[in-house]
Amino acid sequence: MTTTRLFHGKPTHRCTRPSSVRTPGNTIHDLAARLHGLPPSLGPVRLIAVDGHAGSGKSTFAGRLAHALGGAPVLHLDDIASHEQLFAWTDRLMTQVIEPLARGESARYTPYDWRTRAFGAPRPLPAAPVVLIEGVGAGRRAVRPHLARLLWMELPREESWARGRRRDGAEQREFWEGWVAAERAHFAADPSRPHADLLVLQRQQGYEVLAGPAMTGGAGPGVTLRDGPSRMW
């Protein structure tokens, strides 16, 4: 979906230096080990998408998972989207990221600056054994064939959006008004959650990972990783 409305600069909230993660049953490290053991899905790369509503904790979780993976590269879709193309960035992602990784080459993408409203100098994204792509719409239809796993942050949209609004404050009120409408339209046309392999829930002591609709055939989530023995997926 393309929008021509101009919003205020989009705030970024990224976990660049992940702190140690206390999770039941060391969940995030178990998850990292299992993801690393998957067969490649894009050239030599295991491409893992972390999707969910704005404000659901995708960036923080992706940063911690990348840390558990030994410093796996993370592509933030905030760098691919723009004011004019909040969700209509598929072609740019394919050309700058997906196609080079499929050839086993490092990708080079031009990150968007939400303050200056301009794309910057190219940044490298190596064709590492595991590469994470996080952001709203990371599990879109065009990307799913290239994914080793699709993870969905399991937090209702209204709660996610409320968290995001509180986080960003009144300065970003206009942006959020436009964003909510755009996100609703995107997921109505191209939903990610029904195709999620895993659902990630944030608990008081860490994360819990459940089998998603793609694993359970829509029969409801089953526990995959939590305190105590866990089922394989």
Rounded-to-integer distance, Cα 156 and Cα 48, Å: 22
Question: In which band, very low, low, confident or very high, does the pLDDT at 226 lie, cut at 50, 70 and 90?
Answer: low
Structural tokens at position 55 = 């404000």
The number of angstroms, rounded, from the C-alpha of 193 to the middle of its chain's C-alpha atoms is 12
Q: Does pLDDT of 196 surpass 80?
A: yes
Instruction: Give the pLDDT band of residue 204 (cuts 50, 70, 90).
Output: confident
**H and E: helices and strands count for the chain:** 7, 11
Report whether 100 contacts 106 (CB < 8 A). Answer: yes
In degrees and rounded to multiples of 5, residue 198 shows phi and psi of -135, 145
Q: Residue for token digits 């860490």?
A: 206
Structural domains of the chain, with CATH: 24-225 (3.40.50.300)
Tell me the pLDDT of the chain averaged across its residues. 83
What mean pLDDT comes out for the span 74-88?
A: 96
Residues contacting residue 88 through CB under 8 Å, at least 6 positions apart: 1, 2
* Tens-digit pLDDT profile for residues 45-77: 999 999 999 989 999 999 999 999 999 999 999
Residue 193 near residue 152, CB atoms below 8 Å = yes
Q: Which helix (H) or strand (E) holds 183?
A: helix 173-189
Q: Where are the beta strands (DSSP E) in 81-233?
A: 107-109, 112-113, 118-119, 123-125, 130-134, 149-153, 198-203, 206-211, 223-225
% of the chain surpassing 70 pLDDT = 79
pLDDT above 90 covers a percentage of the chain that reads: 65
Which residue type occupies 2?
Answer: T
